[in-house]
Structure 1
Amino acid sequence: MKRGLALLLAVVMAAGIFLAGCGNKNENQSVQSTAAQSNAAQSEQSSKTDNSNANVTVTPQLIGDKNAKTEITWQPVPAHSMMDSNQAKVEYLTKKAKEWAEKHPDVKIVPIQTTIAISDSMAKILVQAASGQAPDIAAIDSYIFPNFTKYAQPIDDIVQEKNLDINDWFPFAQNVMKPEDKILGLWYTTDVRALFYRKDIVKNPPKTWQELLDLGKQLKGQGYDAFLYSAGRDENVTMNTLPYFFGQGGKLVDDNGTPVFGEGENRAAMINYINFLKSTVDTGVTPTRVLNFKSDPNMNADLAAGKVAMFVGVSNMAAQLRSVIADKFDELWDVAPIPMAEADQRASTAGGWVSTVFTEDDQKRKLAADFIIDMYVNDQGMEGWCSAGGYLPPRKSVFEKAEFLKSDPFAQKFKEELQFAYVRPAANIYPTISQEIQIAINNVLAGQTTPEKAVDNAWKIVTSKK
């Protein structure tokens, strides 16, 4: 195995980065739940009671006729499969899979079940791809997808045949899907970070750090927790706070994947960003208990209590909080861009998943791409999937066409933030950088070190592992 591949596998498996780009980790952990097994049983039963095609089976183990001549292997991320515990997602996937199988009676899709430890799963697929043994189709975590492109098969012809335009995807997704002159993957689900604020308390959401601090002090004096965010040691923390760094023009790595965050203007931007977080705690605008928040749902109890004025979180928090505080959420809350160091700056971060085709068999390549497009990517597929799962679509036009987004008061605002979204760099060293950023933030907010020392220490550790 080449040294580069070995290094990537080592850092991916060591980092243990889960589904940070697509929501909280609990949605993956539900795969092994009793509910998931119940859903699987219901899916199998419902698919067999339809007499329109008695040979078609739709279960978590098989889609289509077991005797079909053409077999396509498919490895979805567990939370995006029929093994998930979310009944809405399972029902959607079962219905769409059955429709596709009935249109392709000579084809069977064989889903490959995999671990909920996403880093381990990605490392395994990378080894398989390098040896020519990858599944015919697989879902790849978007931030590491560029490491798979050398093994991915072009699908431009199928994308064109299905009347899809790559320019309909948001810029951050286009750059990943089509790194050079060929479309090598389909980004099918995403999210974005934004400032959530109580519109009955905050009349004009702050645009800058100083505005946030000034307003926060007033709100604190009125008895509110003015500003919450996750500050524990978790990938979610990196994703939710990096907009402060990217907004200043900061770069974590250069075009070759070499760390640069600890040098020159990048170091200054990193120190500024962590110093801003420190100032929120030092002024009391942010309570120190945010050090215990590893993911956005950790804030739910505080938000439900009604004493929080603002927080930075991922877009799917809107759906979660609607279930926590019901109708009061849309009545009381709104979203705005994340405050930046300067008013003319704008940045957010986006995560998500990309499906890619690995098979070199041309017939299977076309069928595999067709299957993924029908399930998750075309107008009906992306609307149905994102509605069932509570995700944002990575295609701009779906925001205008999807009925469930037309009625969502936040949808167009999230769409706007996606225009300014950055993605994590697909560098072998990124997991180490992320881990050290988490440690730096946690140590500074706990009063154990200064932003300057924390950044320099992170830089020393990261560069020692190059």
Structure 2
Amino acid sequence: MKLRKSFSIQLRNLFLAISLLTVVLLGGCEFQLDFRELVSQIVEQIVPPPAITQTPTATSPTVESTDVGAVTPTAPPLSGAVELIIWVPPQFDPQLDTPESVLFKQRIAEFEASHDDVFVTVRVKAVSGATGLLESLTITSAAASQAMPTLVALPRSDLETAVSRNLIIPFDMYSSEIDNQDWYDYAQRLTVIGGSSYGLPFAGDAMVMVYRPSIVGEPPDTWNDLIRRGEAISLPAADPQSLLTLALYLSSGGDLESTQRLPPLELEILTRLYQLYADGAQSGVFPLWLTQMQKDSEAWTAYNELRSNWVITWLTRHLSDPSEDSNMTFIPEVNNSPTTLADGWVWSLTDPRAQVHELSVELAEFLVEPDYLTEWTPLAGVLPVRPSTLIGFEDQTLRTTLGQIALSAHIRPSNEIVNVIGLVMQDQFVQVLSGKTTAPFAAQAIIDRIGNP
């Protein structure tokens, strides 16, 4: 509306100017003004000069002029005494009367001594269950986030679940220590989920075979060698996670690291693997009583009761309570490819207080320094996470074996693979050992039930 009015005024001015100019020219009036100047003045009246636009000077944002949602909050600085709380499972309790616990307690005291007004409190939680580490984290985060621990020691499976529940803070936001070359590949992979690292590993574990050399002699290199011997081996055939079968599937050339949630399984590999189970059941290597065992502890008990002279178990079980008549070695190979599944414990960051994150990360790094782990790892009876810490094991044979196991170890598959594929594999393993199905039918049943994409 204003635009039309302005344009109308300009036309009226133009008409008057032209009329005036005509009168002047016809009347022969003489003016001091030059014709060009007169025209210029007329144009200036009709077309006003453009408005001068001034570039605003940049100013510091104020509360009134800044979008609150775009502001990145700055954590207030630390002041006064700071308490850092660590949650650990019972085996890492610093109050236990064991050499590794005493060393852990001393290490914490060293950190406190090097930081004024910093106090570290260690609280022990069950490994699993309603009061376990994972569930305690979940409940505390929802009900009283200010009570969340600073660091928590988690196994791989719980770390994966905790990340999916947004209970863990990405560690690589504050530290690049995991990129150090002094880590075994399996140990680095323990911390990585979805491309981000969620902590620092400090203790490893792996599936191994323990045997009595005075009775069975040298261990077999392959499962076919073991089957030819015809001597019973103890293992949890009814384990719903079927970790042994998953390990042997990898050893046979199978792939469980597909980008898909559930990787496609290969029928030929499954058929060969379950034929091995059928042959073992026929020769007595896999006796029927294995189908009643679901837990590693049950297989270990059978071994100690002399029901077998071989047992598939976890490395930490043997190292924490070694027997003088027993040695440890790799799980027998399938295709000349030593492969075992590894698990382990990771220091993860869980404290919601941003102002203590750097200090918390410093504590975690302090607890995985090579010099400390070199001394602590043999005492704790765990698989080394750093190659440099192998020198802490005085037994040269054991040191070599541990190094080879750490190099060949694959981290356990994702929780979804273990819970879905593992359960189906376990069911068919029991069916084969019970003589209720054959290897080809078992392999096809697994494919059918998983539904290969």
Query: Could you say whether these structures have the same fold, taking a TM-score greater than 0.5 normalized by the shorter chain as the test?
Result: yes
Does the alignment pair 1:229 with 2:229?
A: no
User: Which of 168, 180, 191 pairs up with 2:182?
Assistant: 168
Mapped contact 1:143–1:423 kept (Cα < 8 A)? no
Q: Deviations over 1:352-403 (max 9, x none)?
A: 111122446555222212222333x112432344334321221111012x1x
Alignment check: 8 A CA contact 2:184 2:386 kept: yes
Distance verdict in 2 for CA 1:113–1:71, change over 3 Å: same
Cα distance between partner residues in 2 of 1:184 and 1:455: 36
CA distance in structure 2 between the partners assigned to 1:430 and 1:300 by the alignment: 22
Q: CA RMSD in A?
A: 3.7
* Structure 2 equivalent of residue 396 of structure 1: 387
For residues 170 and 213 of structure 1, what CA distance do their matches in structure 2 show? 32
Instruction: Say whether residues 1:74 and 2:86 are aligned partners.
Output: yes
Residue in structure 2 matching 1:139, options 146, 153, 158: 153
Counterparts of residues 82-231 of structure 1 (less than 5 Å): 82=94, 87-111=98-122, 113-117=124-128, 121-122=133-134, 125=137, 133=145, 135-143=149-157, 145-146=159-160, 148=163, 151-155=168-172, 158=175, 166-177=180-191, 183-214=197-228, 216-217=229-230, 225-231=231-237
AA aligned opposite 1:98: A
Give yes or no for contact 1:155–1:369 (8 Å, CA) kept in 2: no
In terms of mean alpha carbon deviation, does 105-114 or 300-309 score higher? 300-309
- Identify the residue that residue 5 of structure 1 maps to in structure 2: none
Residue pair 2:383, 2:406 contacting (<8 A) in 1 also: no
Change over 3 Å in CA distance of 1:440–1:253 after alignment to 2 = farther
Q: 1:418 to 1:118 in 2, by over 3 A?
A: farther
**Structure 1 contact 315–414 (Cα < 8 Å) conserved:** no
**When the two structures are aligned, how many residues end up with a matched partner?**
369
Compared with structure 1, are the counterparts of its residues 79 and 246 closer, same or farther at alpha carbon in structure 2 (3 Å cutoff)?
Answer: same
Measure how far apart 1:244 and its partner are: 1.2
Match of 1:334 in 2: 327
Which residue of structure 2 lines up, in the alignment, with residue 254 of structure 1?
Answer: 258
Gaps in structure 1 of 5+ consecutive residues: 1-66, 218-224
Give distance in 1, aligned partners of 2:144 and 2:250.
Answer: 37
For 2:300 and 2:412, the matched residues in 1 are separated by 26
Match of 1:372 among 356, 364, 367: 364
Contact 2:84 2:120 in 1 (8 A): yes
CA distance in 2, matches of 1:318, 1:249: 28
Contact kept, 8 Å, 2:250 with 2:339, in 1: the verdict is yes
In structure 2, how many angstroms separate the alpha carbons of the residues matched to 1:399 and 1:75? 27
The answer on whether the counterparts of 1:166 and 1:174 sit within 8 Å (CA) in structure 2 is no
Question: What is the aligned partner in structure 2 of residue 36 from structure 1?
Answer: none
Per-residue deviation, 1:416: 0.2
- Opposite residue 261 of structure 2, the aligned amino acid is G
The 5 A counterparts of 1:380-419 are: 380-400=371-391, 402=392, 405-407=393-395, 409-419=397-407
Report Cα offsets for 1:285-304 as digits up to 9, x if no partner: 33322233334443455544
Q: 1:381 to 1:435 in 2, by over 3 A?
A: farther
Bigger Rg over Cα:
2
Task: Write the letter of the residue equivalent to 2:327.
Answer: D
- Give the distance between the partners of 1:131 and 1:440, measured in 2 at CA: 43
- Whether the aligned pair in 2 keeps the contact of 1:82 and 1:90 (CA below 8 Å) is yes
CA contact (8 A) 1:253 1:260 kept: no
Residue matched to 2:283: 283
CA distance in 2, matches of 1:70, 1:166: 29
Deviation of 1:178 after TM superposition, in Å, equals 5.0
Is the partner of 2:233 in helix, strand or coil?
A: strand
Equivalent position to 1:425, from 405, 413, 422:
413
8 Å CA contact 1:240, 1:313 repeated in 2: no
Q: What's the counterpart of residue 35 of structure 2?
A: none
* Cα contact 2:300–2:311 (8 A) shared by 1: no
Query: Residues 347 and 371 (structure 1 numbering): CA distance in 2 closer, same or farther, change over 3 Å?
Result: same
2:343 to 345, 351, 356: 351
Q: Which of 423, 430, 434 is the matching residue for 1:446?
A: 434
What is the Cα deviation at residue 231 of structure 1?
1.6
1:338 aligned counterpart, secondary structure: coil
Residue type of the alignment partner of 2:119: K
Q: CA deviation at 1:259?
A: 4.1
Aligned equivalents of 2:444, 2:317: Cα separation in 1: 33
Report the CA distance between 1:246 and its aligned residue.
0.6
Q: Structure 2 CA distance, aligned partners of 1:255 and 1:125?
A: 29
**Structure 2 CA distance for aligned equivalents of residues 338 and 143 of structure 1:** 22
CA distance in 2, matches of 1:382, 1:367: 20
2:347 partner amino acid? S
Residues in 2 aligned to 1:233 and 1:131: alpha-carbon distance in whole angstroms = 35
Deviations 1:317-372 (A, max 9, x none): 433553xx4xx32xxx43433222323x2211111111122446555222212222
Unaligned runs of 5+ in 2: 1-78
In 2 relative to 1, CA 131–451 (structure 1 residues): closer, same or farther, beyond 3 Å? farther
Give the corresponding residue for 1:310. Answer: 310
